[in-house]
Amino acid sequence: MIPATHNEIEQIYLAAESKQTRSVCVTACHSGDGVTSVATALAERYLLAGQSTLLVDLNLFRSNFQASKMPSISSDSHVCWLEQNECGRVFTGIVKPTLQSDIVNYRNPLYLEKKIEAWLLEFDRVIIDTSPLLQVNRGNISAQCVAKACQYTLLVILGAKTRENHLIKAMELLNRSDSQLIGCVMNSKHQPSLAQEMQRELNRFTWLPKRWRDSVNNKLLNHELLTLID
């Protein structure tokens, strides 16, 4: 879970506000790269700023949301309480479409643009969680289609996992659809912190007394700043 006050989320929020962005598509190269974590963190950041925010789930590849059993909150019958599966956090949102007719409609950028315009009559901001760019199947709503319909797109990169050729291919797909990229967020969940890197290097010096190495390692891992730096 990425906190709404995370530095990269704050930078994306400021960049979006400077461009007066009202609709954002959040996508990545592959499933599991952290799209939902970033989308929910950005939604929380907007909410902290007092902006009503609609979180839309169009990730048919691997959805991380479900409709909460709480009562409806809007005149729009599709708007509901959207519950995140992993942690149970709840947002005002729209659950992923299940009817084939709705899925086909959402694949049309013009239709999606009109839907976003309608949502923005009721909400200040719209954030859309999408399927991965490079994992396409016939059941998906393509991320580049959603990106084209939104004002800007946010690309999530999984540190130490996303390869350069995958990133290049993803950028080609976004450029081909005339999408506007507002920025990239590095998800560092698989990337060791500076403290862990220093610990690994220290352990290579086997000629140093183990007690001394253990003492320094504990200090490194308990150092707040070093554990935050990737």
Q: Residue 42 maps to which CATH number?
A: 3.40.50.300
What pLDDT is recorded for position 219?
66
Range of the domain at 168: 7-187
Q: Average pLDDT in the 131-144 region?
A: 86
Top-confidence residue, 75 or 229: 75
Do residues 92 and 37 both lie within one domain? yes
User: How many domains is the chain built from?
Assistant: 2
Average pLDDT, the chain: 83
Do residues 13 and 32 both lie within one domain? yes
Which of left, alpha, beta for 216 (phi over 0: left; psi -120 to 50: alpha)? Answer: alpha
**d(C-alpha 168, C-alpha 162), whole Å:** 10
Task: Give the amino acid at 31.
Answer: S
Q: Is residue 2 part of a domain?
A: no
CB of 130 closer than 8 Å to CB of 112 = no
Check whether 209 has a pLDDT greater than 90: no
Check whether 229 has a pLDDT greater than 50: no
pLDDT tens profile 16-61: 999 999 999 999 988 877 889 899 999 999 999 999 999 999 999 8
**d(C-alpha 32, C-alpha 18), whole Å:** 29
> Which 3-state string (H, E, C) describes 63-106?
CCEEECCCCCCCCCCCEEEEEECCCCCEEEEECCCCCHHHHHHH
Q: Is residue 1 part of a domain?
A: no
Check whether 214 has a pLDDT greater than 90: no
